[in-house]
Amino acid sequence: MIFVVVTNLLAIAAACILPNDFLASHSYVLYGVQFLTLVPYLLGAAGEVKNLFMPTIFVLVYFLVNLTLGSWLVPRDYGWNKQFTEIALSIDNYNIIVPFLLAANLVLFLLSRATLRRLRNLQLTAPVFGAGMAAAPYPEWYSLLKAPLYFSAFAFVSVFEAFNVFSFQLAIMILHLTEPALTRRLYRFAVYGGYLLILLAFSFENKREIAMTLFLVIFVEAYFSRAQLRFRFVHIVGYVAAIAMFFGLILAASILRGYGDFEVKSAAEAVFLIPKYVSSDFFIDGITDNLELNYCYGTTVTAMDHGLRGLVDFQYGASLAKWVFLPIPRDAIAYKPQSMMQLFTSEFMPEWWLAGGSLPVMFAADMFLNFHVFGLAAFALIWWGINELFVRIHTVAFRSLAFYTCIFLVITVLMFARGSGIELWLMYFLFGLPVLLGGRLLGNFVRSNGNPRTRWVV
């Protein structure tokens, strides 16, 4: 632990004194040092697979992948969107930007370690797959009967493209994937596959939604099976295979969206074209764009530079408070806070903003543009609070509304981390809330068997 922290403090110190031109092209070295020290330590300390979905661990890996690969790819002009290459090479403030981002990653690591230590002493309220779930509030056959209703509702909102459709879909899956009938392995894997097939059939262009579905499936499987994180050869092979399948589905969705200009009509055909796509000359540009490495890294450093140059005003917490003012029309108050995504996009690409486009600003950069270097304190406090959602999954009543809510917010936390803003993250949840509440109330009704003396738990 001491070695890891000292190494990262030295990396932060090096970022303060290294030449700006070196950091513009080679800051991936420092982010790479963080990746090689922080991630292996957390993998060793996690204990169980489910703990990898702790928000600070999840987001730390996301940040490090984007910063490490982005800081190598963007200055070298990879990706189909080239607007950030020249800007990234011309920024003069890397001696402030890079140390701040490195320090933010170290904060996520320290919070992750502290939360992992807390989790070791918790007694989970949810049962394990198998005999432990036999004490469900209603019989297994009832869960089986509800399966067609879940799938029908999921397909219905997909076909008719309901507004904010994935909020409803994710809520439906959370309800279904915690049903007692899923104790049977073959059945629950068929359920997992059913949802993925529907998404590939109707929403293949939404790679984030496919990714979040995969995250939910992996988390639920790991959470209820208490799967241990082991590193024997056979386990490593399994992890590599799972990661390959994950990225395979993402690449298939990319091909269906038009990456590679293949003539493809089905998800199955797209899967068979993955090797051809990977071996093509345009694959690196395509994957850079597809995984948003150019956008994520480019907007992060550009937005922070805009703040340092005075092109975007420091907000002093206003962007965090925007969600409070959402119900109030902008004409009703003299100053209604804007999200950092709105502020940056309207300044950096006003035409794109007027056309309805936006550029999400990574949350670490958001905190910098609120409080400068003091944003690290707010950054740490907010992520500590979000980690509490993950802890509560383990402590609240099984299949209560609080249980569903915490899973929903944890699985969608990358929306918040990548820069959509706290208000959009919460709005996303609010659209799914009626489904979660309805499922909870239905469960209470069945549990009570019509007995008004039975206490209902929300």
Q: What is the pLDDT of residues 8-20, one digit of tens each?
A: 999 999 999 999 9
Has residue 444 been placed in a domain? no
| pLDDT over 60 at 216, yes or no | yes
Has residue 146 been placed in a domain? no
Predicted confidence at residue 140, as pLDDT, reads: 55
Q: Average pLDDT for residues 397-412, to the nearest whole number?
A: 89
Confidence of residue 196 (pLDDT cuts 50, 70, 90): confident
Q: For the chain, what percent of residues have pLDDT higher than 70? A: 79
| Distance from C-alpha of 243 to C-alpha of 228, rounded to nearest angstrom | 17
Has residue 179 been placed in a domain? no
Has residue 33 been placed in a domain? yes
Has residue 407 been placed in a domain? yes
Q: Average pLDDT for residues 421-437, to the nearest whole number?
A: 85
Confidence of residue 104 (pLDDT cuts 50, 70, 90): very high
Predicted confidence at residue 454, as pLDDT, reads: 36
Has residue 308 been placed in a domain? yes
How many residues does the structure list for the chain? 458
- Using the structure block, give the residue that is written with the tokens 């298939």: 252
Q: Average pLDDT for residues 415-442, to the nearest whole number?
A: 83
Beta-carbon-side half-sphere exposure of residue 136 (alpha carbons within 13 Å):
21
Model confidence pLDDT, tens digit, residues 30-66: 999 999 999 999 988 888 888 999 999 989 999 998 8
27-62 burial by CB neighbour count: b if 16+ within 10 A, else e? bbbbbbbbbebbbebbbebbebbbbbbbbbbbbbbb
Confidence of residue 342 (pLDDT cuts 50, 70, 90): confident
Confidence of residue 456 (pLDDT cuts 50, 70, 90): very low
| pLDDT over 80 at 256, yes or no | no
Asked whether 413 and 55 are in contact (CB, 8 A), the reply is: yes
177 vs 233, which has greater pLDDT?
Answer: 177
Nearest to 55 by CA among 428, 421, 416: 416
Confidence of residue 244 (pLDDT cuts 50, 70, 90): confident
| Distance from C-alpha of 286 to C-alpha of 299, rounded to nearest angstrom | 18
Q: Record the tokens describing residue 221, joined without a space.
A: 């499987």
Distance from the Cα of residue 175 to its chain's centroid: 20
| pLDDT over 70 at 453, yes or no | no
Asked whether 109 and 42 are in contact (CB, 8 A), the reply is: yes
Model confidence pLDDT, tens digit, residues 130-169: 444 444 444 555 666 777 888 888 877 777 666 678 888 8
Q: How many structural domains are present in the chain?
A: 1
Predicted confidence at residue 105, as pLDDT, reads: 95
Q: Average pLDDT for residues 437-453, to the nearest whole number?
A: 58
Predicted confidence at residue 450, as pLDDT, reads: 44
Indicate the range of 123-127, 200-204, 389-393 predicted with least confidence: 123-127
In terms of phi and psi (left: phi > 0; alpha: psi -120 to 50; beta: otherwise), the region of 226 is left
Helix (H) or strand (E) holding 281: none
Own/partner pairs, 186-194, CB within 8 angstroms, 24+ separation: 188/221, 191/147, 192/217, 192/221, 194/151
Has residue 47 been placed in a domain? yes
Has residue 309 been placed in a domain? yes
Predicted confidence at residue 322, as pLDDT, reads: 72
409 vs 350, which has greater pLDDT?
Answer: 409
The boundaries of the domain holding residue 354 are 2-124+290-420
- H-helix segments, 128-206: 140-159, 165-177, 185-202
Nearest to 203 by CA among 176, 165, 168, 167: 165
